[in-house]
Structure 1
Amino acid sequence: MGRWEPNARGRLAQAAMELYVERGFEQTTVAEIARRAGLTERTFFRHFADKREVLFGGSRTLQEHLVEAVAEAPDSAAPIDAVAGALEAAGAVLQERREYSQQRQAVIAANAELRERELIKLASLAAALADALRRRGVKEPAASLAAEAGIAVFKIAFERWIGEAAQADLPRLIRESFVELKAVTAGR
């Protein structure tokens, strides 16, 4: 094995997901992941803090994209619409990774610790969205309400997308879910 291996992070992530699906998260070791990827454990730890990070490593990038999208929303956009636009844009990125998203979600659903970590990730995204709205001049509690409602809508749309056998369009499901939320809050 050479000193430098191309795309080590991607190979480790792919090997980890394969093993998580085949054997389960708890039964998979870092040594097995590294071996499957043709790399060393040391290389694994250069790219990931632990085996959970394989599943949650993209959280920071997702958060940055959401915050940037809220910041770039038109000044005239209502807080909930700025959040909806950001989440719809994130949905378009995830749309391209449907199979991975389905596998990831199945691994997370099978493990209580990972489910808790996913909830923490969603709470962090909501806090970041609320902060982005406050920077746009949105006052409390409107900023937190729009952000929390947006994450709830995203979570429901994502679960529908993952669960549907047909190739559903995640951005469309997010849009439809926001329309449904507005109808519910309007009392229709």
Structure 2
Amino acid sequence: MPRSGAEARSRLKQAALELYRENGFDKTTTAEIAARAGVTERTFFRHFPDKREVLFDGEADLRDDLTKSVAEAPEGLAPLEILLRAFRKAGRIMERNLPFAEPRRDLIAATPTLRERNLAKAATLAEALAEALRQRGVEDRLARLAAHAGWATFHHATQAWISDPSRSLDDYLDEAFADLRRLGAEVQSGQ
């Protein structure tokens, strides 16, 4: 039996991941997850509101971390540079969770309800980033565009890194943001 809340949460996440991979997301119940983790179903619901949220654990912490990083970025940086700095910092969390990231990505890709939830979470994170940029004085229209483009670029970089972690996540972030800048330059030059 897990001795701490953090240990129980970790065991529930691992049990859910195993069961989702073995039986599929739709066929796995919260009771099965709890039993595999060695806790009661009531304990499951103390940690997670539903079985989807097991795969999205840490989203609130990520949002808080990102928005704090945006707020604390040095003055004079362009919005995308502010976001890149925030994503690099948040990447440390991702790096610690790599063993969970690949199977999580595959489960989300294979499960329509999880893809829908993932898109909703991404939109919420992008809106939080837009608000953090607005708080820095970035015009609303630019803040929203930068936040959504930045989040898509972060997602692109993390997916590439999960597929091939032989390079650092920072390398993938630098490459993806350089590509984004290059695309912007091509638009400006009419290419």
Is 1:8 the counterpart of 2:8? The answer is yes
User: Does structure 1 residue 86 correspond to structure 2 residue 86?
Assistant: yes
Q: CA deviation at 1:80?
A: 1.0
Q: CA deviation at 1:162?
A: 2.1
Aligned to 2:127: 127
Q: Paired residues, what number? A: 185
TM-fit CA distance, 1:140: 2.2
What does 1:138-153 correspond to in 2, within 5 Å? 138-153=138-153
Aligned counterpart, 2:44: 44
Is the 1:157–1:177 Cα contact (8 Å) retained in structure 2?
yes
Whole-Å Cα distance in 1 between the matches of residues 94 and 154 of structure 2?
Answer: 12
SS at match of 2:140: coil
Structure 1 position 185 matched with structure 2 position 189: no
Name 1:59's counterpart in structure 2: 59
Identity rate, percent: 49
Q: Which residue of 1 aligns with 2:102?
A: 102
Residue equivalent to 1:176: 175
What residue number does 2:112 align with? 112
Measure the CA separation in 2 of the matches of 1:23 and 1:29.
10
Distance 2:87 2:163 in 1: 19
Provide the residue aligned with 2:158 in structure 1.
158
Q: Which residue of 2 aligns with 1:35?
A: 35
Task: Name stretches of at least 5 consecutive residues in structure 2 with no aligned partner.
Answer: none
- Please give the alpha-carbon distance, in whole angstroms, between the structure 1 residues aligned to 2:116 and 2:139: 29
Q: Distance in 2 between matches of 1:17 and 1:184?
A: 37
- Tell me, in whole angstroms, the C-alpha distance in 2 between the residues paired with 1:104 and 1:92: 17
Offset at 1:17? 1.1
Q: TM-score if structure 1 supplies the norm length? A: 0.93
Q: Offset at 1:16?
A: 0.8
Asked if the contact 1:130/1:146 (under 8 Å) is kept, the reply is yes
Whole-angstrom CA distance in 1 between matches of 2:59 and 2:166: 24
CA contact (8 A) 1:88 1:175 kept: no
**Counterpart amino acid of residue 180 in structure 2:** L
> 2:33, 2:88 → 1: CA distance?
33
Alignment deviations for residues 10-60 of structure 1 (CA, whole Å, 9 cap, x no partner):
111111111112221111111111111111111111111111110112111
Counterpart code for 1:115: R
Note if contact 1:92-1:171 (Cα within 8 Å) is conserved in structure 2: no
Q: Whose RCO is larger (CA < 8 A, sep 6+)?
A: 1
Partner of 2:76: 76
Runs of 4+ in 1 over 4 A off after TM superposition: none
- CA RMSD, 1 decimal: 1.5
TM-score by length of 2: 0.92
How far apart are the structure 1 equivalents of 2:142 and 2:40?
49
Query: When you count helix as a share of all residues, which structure comes out higher?
Result: 2
| AA matched with 1:24 | G
Aligned residue in 1 for 2:166: 167
Q: Which secondary structure does the structure 1 equivalent of 2:77 belong to?
A: coil
